[in-house]
A and B are shown apart, each in its own frame.
Chain A
């Protein structure tokens, strides 16, 4: 590899730009000053205590966890169906059907949210956590399908035939061969859809019943300058949590790659 000092320094600057806000987050979460500005005043953990003392946060967290777990499960299961159908079987109209499922990727979220809202209101479905889950599954499914499709594609078709040939039926082949081999993809899909759901704001905001949801709660709190340090504390925890989840996901992905003896290349998406 040729050395490229200018590109290399640009790359470092770019990473600083990317990570700057994330590094600032814990800096001010532990800073003993209500106003978020330099110079730093002193170390404190009081913002974490203040953050946790708000009962609304705990409700929001609980609601968000319910939503994210349900969303991740549902969208991954639906994703398995769609990915398996599109990779393994030939059927007319595949492009159109998969295209429809993937549409939320290229549709501004606001439009998805409003379209759903209009229909829900007109047929009289009360807004609740369930309506949020409905919306989240819709926008998470394309990600699940994309990840799982590549997982199913990397599966050698003759492995399934070998299992059939050795006396297994279609279902036991799926259970003994297909499922274990796409498991890293399933894990990755679960974690990524979970993260998207926890993070999502627009649907949570407009399809919710006003019950506190984590992202909506954070959005609201940031409007009050006095609440900002506590939100930075919460943000620090969330970022730490995301990075742990991602590292686990990456670990599973690499283990999946190593297990099948493949070469490790690329990352998410």
Chain B
């Protein structure tokens, strides 16, 4: 995932703060978004992700700091002249206009002729798969179609940055998954920087080149999806993205970036620097994802390390089964997930098993 590294910077935040009265909504945002990148702002509600998006659009002023877009300081630049366009959570389709009037709304001040504008509208409608819908009234559209109109309307102005505020949250699960793929394709096609706000970690992982995870007005980690998933830099990020088991650990020694620990139920492990993010003064625990643990069925062997386990709970999910397992005769319980493949039995509660695991999958939080 080195996609973004060689790209020029499109947006830069320098110590951006935002207060609403006494409420500190953005607490020193730093970072860059690259040109042509699909970037996500991910976090729980109230973390400031939408506020940050709206400061880029120019709907919210900032209390201090600098926002640069395409090497231009945005201080005092109103929303209507910024090189950004937005797809709103509610889509904000103008209800008193037709689809074509909505899409062509931004061209009102464009010097082109009527026919040229109409052609541009048609082209955009074709791009979002709504050819022939131009004369429809806005309220006749389905949720997915509204979404496409909102996209076409924002993209017709060829913005440098497209801002998407939870654009998929109003759609049902099937439609959402479909639109995720469409959005990725569209972004590759137009090559514009997309900034997506979402609270759905799966959506962010699927769609983004890079993700900024935000908590309480600050960016907790800014990384590509794989790094974020495999090497979260804090317990908070690890818990927010996917499922993570936490196992109590004691630190034995620390030499030149290598940390040797004793993890309860797992034994001694040596971790490299990528597995040991900067300390935060917390009780040391190691995290490991459910899918990095494997149940060994009778007769199976492994080249990885293994530990004895006792099945405490079995949760059947159709394609997967989750097992909650006590490790190595201790009270440490982890969840692990196994694919249900033909010929593989579902084990019962109380079964004694062996669990294979890999030291490489661990991350230390302390």
Contact = CB atoms under 8 A, between A and B. Distances in A.
Q: Touch between A and B in complex, CB under 8 Å?
A: yes
Given A166-B85, A169-B80, A161 B59 contact: yes
How many chain A residues sit at the interface, stated as a range, is 20 to 34
14 contacts: A156-B90, A159-B94, A161-B79, A161-B92, A162-B94, A164-B79, A164-B80, A166-B85, A166-B153, A177-B94, A181-B96, A258-B139, A259-B96, A261-B139
A50 interface: no
B57 interface: yes
Contact of B138 (A169, A177, A261): A261
A103 to B, nearest CB: 30
Interface of A: 156, 158-159, 161-169, 176-177, 180-181, 258-261
Given A165-B79, A165-B86, A167-B109, A261 B57 contact: no
A182 to B, nearest CB: 11
A172 to B, nearest CB: 8
B90 A158 contact: yes
B81 A162 contact: no
Given A156-B90, A161-B79, A261-B139, A167 B96 contact: no
Contacts of A164: 59, 78-80
A259 B138 CA distance: 9
A158 B88 contact: yes
Smallest CB-CB A-B distances: 7 pairs? A261-B139, A166-B106, A162-B92, A260-B95, A158-B92, A158-B88, A164-B79
B139 A259 contact: yes
Contact of A167 (B57, B106, B137, B139): B106
Contacts of B84: 165
B157 interface: yes
B69 to A, nearest CB: 14
Contacts, number: 68
A261 B106 contact: no
Contacts of B153: 162, 166
B178 interface: no
Interface string B112-153: 000000000000000000000000011110000000000001
A162 B88 CA distance: 8
Contacts of A260: 95-96, 139
Interface size band for B: 20 to 34
Most buried by B among A159, A166, A176, A181: A166
Given A167-B108, A181-B95, A161 B86 contact: yes
A166 B88 CA distance: 12
Nearest to B159: A165
Contacts of A165: 57, 59, 79-80, 84-86, 154
B89 interface: yes
B341 to A, nearest CB: 47
Interface string B88-109: 1110101110000000011011
A181 B94 CA distance: 9
Contacts of B79: 161, 164-165
A90 to B, nearest CB: 10
B59 A261 contact: no
Contacts of A169: 78, 80
Contacts of A180: 96
B95 A259 contact: yes
Contacts of B59: 161, 164-165
A30 B153 CA distance: 61
A159 B154 CA distance: 13
Interface in B210-254: none
Contacts of B139: 258-261
Contacts of B92: 156, 158-159, 161-162
Contacts of A166: 80, 85, 105-106, 153-154, 157
Contact of A168 (B80, B90, B96): B80
Interface in B54-97: 57, 59, 78-81, 84-86, 88-90, 92, 94-96
